[in-house]
Structure 1
């Protein structure tokens, strides 16, 4: 029986031996790759920011009265100085007339006191009347002058209160919801808020960076910021940093920053969340899709194809460019980075390249 089995194997010849060896080897895993090329790339940081108006004011009533008319349309742009509300004028017109009448009365008394003093002064000098009478006339004149000054101030106050019955927009911007309706009674001391106006062109975007990121930003001298929506589509033209905090938030370890953007078509509204891309200068590196980069306690790494086998390559990253990592170390031009089947790979495992996704350097650098 042993002889027969040996003879049977021998009769299969060399082709049978090759088939047995092939059956015992692990099959090559099909993978997709990207052949990377070194490029001159903008180095950016992507953070979530929130928009806010560059100016926001509360429009308040400054006199007590009934709102006779609302003169603006809620949610629409208004220019600086535009009339928003009209508060009843009649009580303040009457108060102004009374103040002017009081002023006229005080001015008449002033003229009488001046004539009396002018009459008594030469008589006192010639001792025709006592000095006491002359001093009394002088004091009466001074009191009349003070009463006229007070009456003039009261007229000015009445004129100012009358002007406050016409409520105007202090700045140009987008009007808010009216908090008071026509016929409502407003009081400047207890219930004065009427509406708000927000200036959205330019618009500001607030965000925060870590201490290390702020240090890199200051070192690079970069001030340009771009905005995109959740899908990565551009929102506005490039903006610039206009504020950087001088202290670190001890609870988060971040520094607040703010950028300003032209927003003539109101594409970004206050309160809206956006993605801010802060430029930190330019760097030589490779673009690697985010999905191809793995991370553990030793750092970031990618799988690359070398001599038909999968090998792990530790990398150093410098930030983001679009949805790709900017790899500044660990790769060389022409390396084939594996894009899929990452969880199935093992160091030294044979792989078969299915298709290459090559991004030309020129097109990537122009993004």
Structure 2
């Protein structure tokens, strides 16, 4: 029994010693990752949406009346300038040409007779064997016959041209579209019937627009447009950049009153015909190089109701709040034009632990720091907490310890 009392007294003494606490030491300053920024030069890029359009587009129409005999080309195939696309029945046109040629032959004969009579009158005029009036009539007949011959020749030429139109050829090189009429249809009757369309798709135009305010802002900026200015990249649906770069070749000077936008256009090579007209594409236009700006990771820029700001480790590692002006997001970073100076240590990681005017412990920040931190702590419980596995082990071990501690007590009781 005395042994049990001594054990209880010893446990009470140890408990009293454990409850006695030392004065609390001040916590160490929180560790934050900082990035020392310097002014740099970056391209001014604008993300826009445009639509592809053919470089040239020509409507192929029936220019003479007749029945469409045959479609020669393969729909959707590439054709060259001058290739035969359609044939129109030439029978009536050939007959018209024959009529014109007959009229021309008659006019030529009349002109020859009139010339002979005029030459005879010219020879007789000096001998006074012909009157002045007869001479004038002979010369007038010669001129009229020549004019009639010229008109007959023009009619023949017109008939030949119309006969040539019976063979419909490609006006430009490009891709021929679907035929708009079928064989056996009557075309060109009263109007030029549309037969098909030929589009030149190498190169292609890209039509897009920009708001007038944004255009004026870019134009007022001091940009170096000699290095890559005017280049346009095409972003494909899978996120990759098209291997051919476009070049800005047109900028409108009239604002659309309905949309308040300005029309622009770029031209892009398309040698493999992978881009098709009519498709909407995402563009990244390079307007020039912008100097004297700072690149800061997006995680470092905070916002409140009034402005954007960053936290900077200033003198004595004290946190300073700096309002900034963000121009745009670019490649996962903010482009900042105002608010920072060279050498500022911007807090990138550990931002929630930093408070203005508080002292922090800055360490260099690396881009992969944010990805490596979760990986390092994967499976580990937060500080001050225990995992569920550890808790269950302690819970299972406690009864064993109690059982072990009760065994001597039971033995002493027996003694």
- Give me the TM-score of the superposition, normalised by structure 2: 0.69
Q: Which residue of 1 aligns with 2:408?
A: none
Q: Find 1:12's aligned residue among 6, 14, 19.
A: 19
Q: Which residue of 2 aligns with 1:239?
A: 246
Distance 1:40 1:281, change over 3 A: closer
Distance 1:72 1:297, change over 3 A: farther
Aligned residues: 340
Deviations 1:111-145 (A, max 9, x none): 11111222233334423233322222222211111
Matches within 5 A, 1:303-314: 314=323
Deviations 1:24-60 (A, max 9, x none): xxxx9xx9x8957555432211111111112112111
Q: Which residue of 2 aligns with 1:25?
A: none
Q: Following TM superposition, by how much is the alpha carbon of 1:85 offset from its aligned partner in structure 2, in angstroms?
A: 1.1
Q: Find 1:316's aligned residue among 325, 331, 340.
A: 325
Q: Which residue of 2 aligns with 1:107?
A: 108
Question: Aligned partners of 1:350, 1:114: CA distance in 2, in Å?
Answer: 116
Matches within 5 A, 1:118-129: 118-129=119-130
Q: Does 1:325 align with 2:352?
A: no
Q: Which residue of 2 aligns with 1:83?
A: 84
Q: Which residue of 1 aligns with 2:348?
A: 337
**Structure 2 unpaired stretches of 5+:** 1-14, 370-415
Secondary structure of 1:232's aligned partner? coil
Question: Aligned partners of 2:347, 2:265: CA distance in 1, in Å?
Answer: 40
- Give me the TM-score of the superposition, normalised by structure 1: 0.77
**Structure 1 unpaired stretches of 5+:** 1-7, 23-27, 361-367
Question: Aligned partners of 1:358, 1:225: CA distance in 2, in Å?
Answer: 28
Matches within 5 A, 1:195-210: 195-210=196-211
Deviations 1:146-204 (A, max 9, x none): 11000000011011111111111111122222111222111164351111122221111
Structure 1 contact 53–204 (Cα < 8 Å) conserved: yes
Question: Aligned partners of 1:292, 1:88: CA distance in 2, in Å?
Answer: 76
Q: Following TM superposition, by how much is the alpha carbon of 1:248 offset from its aligned partner in structure 2, in angstroms?
A: 2.2
Question: Aligned partners of 2:272, 2:34: CA distance in 1, in Å?
Answer: 40
Q: Which residue of 2 aligns with 1:165?
A: 166
Q: Following TM superposition, by how much is the alpha carbon of 1:104 offset from its aligned partner in structure 2, in angstroms?
A: 0.9
Q: Which residue of 1 aligns with 2:71?
A: 70
Secondary structure of 1:203's aligned partner? strand
Q: Which has the larger radius of gyration?
A: 2
Structure 2 contact 41–289 (Cα < 8 Å) conserved: no
Q: Does 1:248 align with 2:255?
A: yes
Distance 1:262 1:291, change over 3 A: farther
Matches within 5 A, 1:1-367: 12-14=19-21, 38=38, 40-187=41-188, 189-215=190-216, 216-217=218-219, 219-220=222-223, 221=225, 222-279=229-286, 280-288=288-296, 298-301=306-309, 314-322=323-331, 324-330=333-339, 334-337=345-348, 358=367
Structure 2 contact 251–265 (Cα < 8 Å) conserved: yes
Q: Which residue of 1 aligns with 2:6?
A: none
Structure 1 contact 45–319 (Cα < 8 Å) conserved: no
